Amino acid sequence: MRFAKWFLVGLAVLTFGCEGEPAGEGLEACPGPDGLDSSLVQSTFLLPDEATPNNNHSIGPFCCTGVTATIEAIEGHPVGYAYFFSWKGQAYNGADGDSYAPGVEILVAGLEDVRDPQSALVESVIAFDASEMDRCAERSVKAGQLRFTVTLLNVTKNHKPDYFDMGSLEARLDVSVEP
C-alpha cells in the first residue's frame, strides 16, 4: 500500500510538476532569431536583466526610471538603445502592492548608419496592448539601420484582461543590422 501511495505521488509530480501545472507547459522556448548578428557585440538581450538601470539618468536618448540596453558595434561604439519600458494610459497600484498598466512600450533608437557613430539617431516604439500580451507574442520595428524584435517571455495579466502586472514582464530583445 505504501508503494502504491508513493507511486501515485511520484506520478502526480511528473505529470503536474510542483506548481500544479502540467509538466512541459511554459518550458519550451519562444522562437528566436536564426543566428546572432556578428557585427554587434551583443545582439540578444533578456530584459530587464541584461540592461542597465537608468537610475534617473539618461542612457542614450532615454531617461529615467527604467532600464536601457545599449547595442554596440563590434568596433566598440554604441549604435542603438532599447528602453524597457514605458506605457500609455492610466496605470494603477493594486491592493496586493503590484502595479498594473494597460499596455507596454519598448522605446528603441538606432543610428542611420551603424558604421558612422556621428550619424543621426532614429527613434521608434514597439507597443503591445495588454490584451495582446501573451507568452511568445512578438513585435518588430526598424529604427535607423537596426531591426529591433521584442518577444514576450513572461507576463501576468490582471483579472481584467486589459491590464498586466508590470513586475511580471520579461522579454527578449533581438537586434540585427539591416541595409
Number of domains in the chain: 2
Is residue 25 scored above 70 in pLDDT? no
pLDDT in tens, 154-177: 999 987 769 999 999 999 999 999
The residue range of the domain holding 146 is 31-177
Is pTM beyond 0.75? Reply is yes
Are residues 90 and 159 located together in one domain of the fold? Answer: yes
Residues 46 and 129 reside in one and the same domain? yes
Instruction: Mark whether 49 and 19 lie in a shared domain.
Output: no
Sequence-distant (≥ 6) Cβ neighbours of residue 39 within 8 angstroms: 73, 74, 114, 177
Is 50 found in the same domain as 128? yes
Measured CA to CA, the distance from residue 141 to residue 87 in angstroms comes to 17
- Say yes or no: 7 and 49 in one domain: no
Q: Is 161 in the same domain as 115?
A: yes
- Reported as a single tens digit per residue, the pLDDT across 58-110 is 999 999 999 999 999 999 999 999 999 999 999 999 888 899 999 999 999 99
